[in-house]
Amino acid sequence: MKSLRIKCNSLYWLFKPFWKYGKGLVISSLLINIILVPLSVILITLLPQTIVDMLETGSHLSEIIKMATLINGIILLLSTVSLAHLTFYDRPASARIDMRIKRDVYLHTLKIDYRYVDSPSYYDDYMWTIDNFAENAKNTNALIQDFCRACILISTLVAVIASVGPIIAAIALAIAIIDLQISNQVIKTYVKQDEDLLLPNRRLGYVHRLFYMNNFIADLKSTNLKNLILRKYDRTSVDAIDIIKSANAKMFYQALMITIARSIGKIILIIYIASNIQSGNIARIGSYITVFLAIESLDRSLHEFSQTIQNGNKLSLYAERMRKFFDLKSEIETTCAGAIPAVGAFSVELKNICFRYENSGFELKNIELSIPPGERVAIVGENGAGKTTLVKLLLRLYDVIGGDILINGVSIKEYNIGSLRERIGVAFQNSNIYALTFLENIELYNKVTQDKLDEIAQSLKLSEILKKNNADFSNEVTKEFDEKGIVLSGGEIQKVALARLMTGDFGLLLLDEPSSSLDPLSEYDMTKMMLNSSNRSTTIIVAHRLSSIRDVDRIILFEDGTIKETGTHDSLMALGGKYCEMFTKQAENYVK
């Protein structure tokens, strides 16, 4: 009983989004399935008996034709109404509901903390949900319709058969119960196969992406990468096929048992009916025809009912898997209430903060740092020193495990997370460009006036990019939605990312290697722009090219998750420590 309650609860959970967006479709489909479809089946079952009975009683041919025409006319009308509903209402409405449910899934992903998104298992859960949630919500609605229709048909057909021979109805129901028990095992095997295929499919999907994404094609063409990757592809393909073979072998024997049970049941029914006809218990020919037609319809209805129960079990298992995705406990992204950051440049204070990633040896240890409003700070250090991690903590993609981060003297945890991030402008090393217009890519943070757009374009020489592509700000970027879309280089994408930071008054700017793809002249212009008096925001720049940050107010050297050196360029060079060594070695390369 508890198991049934859990399954019903899972099905209700799946059905809710479909009901939310498709109440009209649910109600109209239900009316068709509990009234029109059963009525058609009953009329088809009783039509032969009606005609035969009229022939036995000597009815005139014209009366028989009228009756046959009337009944078939009603059947045709019912079928036409059902077909029209399916074609002109059901399918378009189902497609619209499918899209809205998937849209809700996309929005839900933004409510999930970054610590989940940063895990490979999250990708499995997300793909399972986006591939199955909308479809299974639709299937749950179909399940309800099928269940109601089957119940009405079975009860009506059993009544018709029982009026002629009660034992016949009992035998047919016994067959259905056996069918149902074995079919449940088939469904469990099928769902287990899908779960086992998640990991191989994720790996195969990775290979699929490599061979169509342009940033990997050059390596595939010019290195041994293709052979190494295809070797992994072949091994994973074998694993996937083995899983499918094993599951299919189980399902074959289970399906064979169902077929044998159904065949034996039909033989028993035929023998029973034949013996009753011979003994005179079923006397009239019309009743004999009705029983056989009703048994055929009942067999189909019982099989559909069995399939409905199986589908219910399958859908409940799918729901349990998907609910894991929706039940992820998020603490950061659900912080809707809280303080709104003040206008103007932020002060940033790191008070003895500590942080580590799960299943990682890396750790930020006892970081103490105070940045007054408007200061330009550069974070430097070797790869893996903790520079980018600090950027993620300031965006509150993660929470520290010790200490606290204060923005304007207030703990970062006390802010409304959306409002806080609106005041923080970010440009990453691998900045993203999106299938939007050139202008929309610039306006991701804020809308801009034409005068402001002209100023931004002049500062970053965006007009040269547009001129080269024979385009303007209204042209689409990428070819995802427009075959004539602009394709930008890595350096051009970084310029667009920097342009986004010039669209508003940010309290804090976080620049994580923002010039890694820029040519030297563009990098010089970018640095000048970020460090001149027009930039009143508190600015933190993560950099590897040390020549680009020598004029910042302060340079902070990270090493092994701690702050090792801090000061201006001149003071750190005079110190002769790690920063001096790094800068000198880079400078030697330029001199050579």
For residue 232, name the pLDDT band (cuts at 50, 70, 90): confident
What pLDDT, on a 0 to 100 scale, did the predictor assign at position 349? 95
Please give the average per-residue pLDDT across 105-120, as a whole number.
Answer: 84
Q: List, for residues 25-78, the tens digit of each pLDDT value.
A: 999 999 998 899 888 888 887 887 788 778 777 888 888 889 989 989 999 999
What pLDDT, on a 0 to 100 scale, did the predictor assign at position 368? 92
Pairing of the two strands 402-407 and 554-559: unpaired
Is a pLDDT exceeding 90 seen at residue 136? Answer: yes
Whether 132 and 322 have beta carbons less than 8 Å apart is answered as: yes
SS3 74: helix
Q: Which neighbouring-strand residues pair with 371?
A: 348
Q: What is the distance of C-alpha 266 from the center of its chain?
A: 46
> Which strands form 376-380's sheet, in the order they lie side by side?
424-427, 508-512, 538-542, 376-380, 554-559, 562-567
Residue 495 phi, psi dihedral angles, 5° rounding = -65, -40
Please give the average per-residue pLDDT across 484-509, as a whole number.
Answer: 88
Query: Burial code of 399-408, b = ≥16 C-beta within 10 A, e = fewer?
Result: bbeebbbbbb
Domain assignment present for residue 268? The answer is no
SS3 384: coil
Q: Which domain holds residue 1?
A: 1-159
In angstroms, the CA 551 to CA 437 distance is 35
- If one compares 587 and 143, the residue with the highest pLDDT of the two is 143
Domain assignment present for residue 416? The answer is yes
Is a pLDDT exceeding 90 seen at residue 264? Answer: no
Tokens of 563: 């702050």
For residue 353, name the pLDDT band (cuts at 50, 70, 90): very high
C-beta neighbour count of 376 within 10 angstroms: 20
Tokens of 467: 């001129």
Is a pLDDT exceeding 60 seen at residue 592? Answer: no
Final residue before a domain boundary, out of 144, 159, 174? 159
Domain assignment present for residue 293? The answer is no
Write the CA distances from 60 to 68, 170, 246, 289, 588, integer angstroms: 13, 38, 63, 21, 113
Tokens of 400: 């520290």
Whether 178 and 64 have beta carbons less than 8 Å apart is answered as: no
DSSP class of 339:
B
Query: Burial code of 33-61, b = ≥16 C-beta within 10 A, e = fewer?
Result: bbebbbebbbeebbbbbbbbbbeeeeeee
In angstroms, the CA 61 to CA 505 distance is 90
578: CATH: 3.40.50.300
Final residue before a domain boundary, out of 159, 176, 202? 159
What pLDDT, on a 0 to 100 scale, did the predictor assign at position 165? 66
Domain assignment present for residue 307? The answer is no
- If one compares 513 and 558, the residue with the highest pLDDT of the two is 558
What pLDDT, on a 0 to 100 scale, did the predictor assign at position 333? 83
Please give the average per-residue pLDDT across 172-191, as a whole number.
Answer: 73
Q: Count of alpha carbons within 13 Å of 431, Cβ hemisphere only?
A: 31
Tokens of 163: 């009026």
What pLDDT, on a 0 to 100 scale, did the predictor assign at position 16? 94
Pairing of the two strands 424-427 and 508-512: parallel
Taking Cα atoms as reference points, which of 540, 488, 550 lies closest to residue 518? 488
Cβ neighbors of 376 (< 8 A, separation 6 or more) are: 530, 531, 535, 539, 541, 552, 553, 554
pTM for the predicted model, two decimal places: 0.74
**Dihedral angle, C-alpha 145, 149, 155, 159, nearest 10 °:** 170
Cβ neighbors of 195 (< 8 A, separation 6 or more) are: 321
Whether 556 and 566 have beta carbons less than 8 Å apart is answered as: yes
SS (H, E, C) 440-495: HHHCCCCCCCHHHHHHHHHHHCHHHHHHHCCCCCCCEECCCCCCCCECCCHHHHHH
Q: What total of structural domains would you count in the chain?
A: 2
For residue 1, name the pLDDT band (cuts at 50, 70, 90): low
Final residue before a domain boundary, out of 159, 186, 210? 159
What pLDDT, on a 0 to 100 scale, did the predictor assign at position 100? 93
Domain assignment present for residue 267? The answer is no
Domain assignment present for residue 278? The answer is no
Q: List, for residues 273-304, the tens digit of each pLDDT value.
A: 677 666 766 555 566 677 667 777 777 777 77
The helix (H) or strand (E) run that includes residue 199 is helix 198-210
Is a pLDDT exceeding 90 seen at residue 370? Answer: yes
Note every long-range contact of 473-476, with CB atoms under 8 Å and residues 24 or more positions apart, other chains counting. Answer: 473/437, 473/438, 473/439, 473/442, 474/437, 474/438, 474/439, 475/437, 475/438, 476/435, 476/436, 476/437, 476/438
Residues in the chain: 592
Domain assignment present for residue 343? The answer is no
Q: List, for residues 405-441, the tens digit of each pLDDT value.
A: 999 999 999 999 889 988 999 888 778 888 889 999 8
Domain assignment present for residue 319? The answer is no
Tokens of 578: 């790690």
- If one compares 224 and 282, the residue with the highest pLDDT of the two is 224
Residue 286 phi, psi dihedral angles, 5° rounding = -60, -40
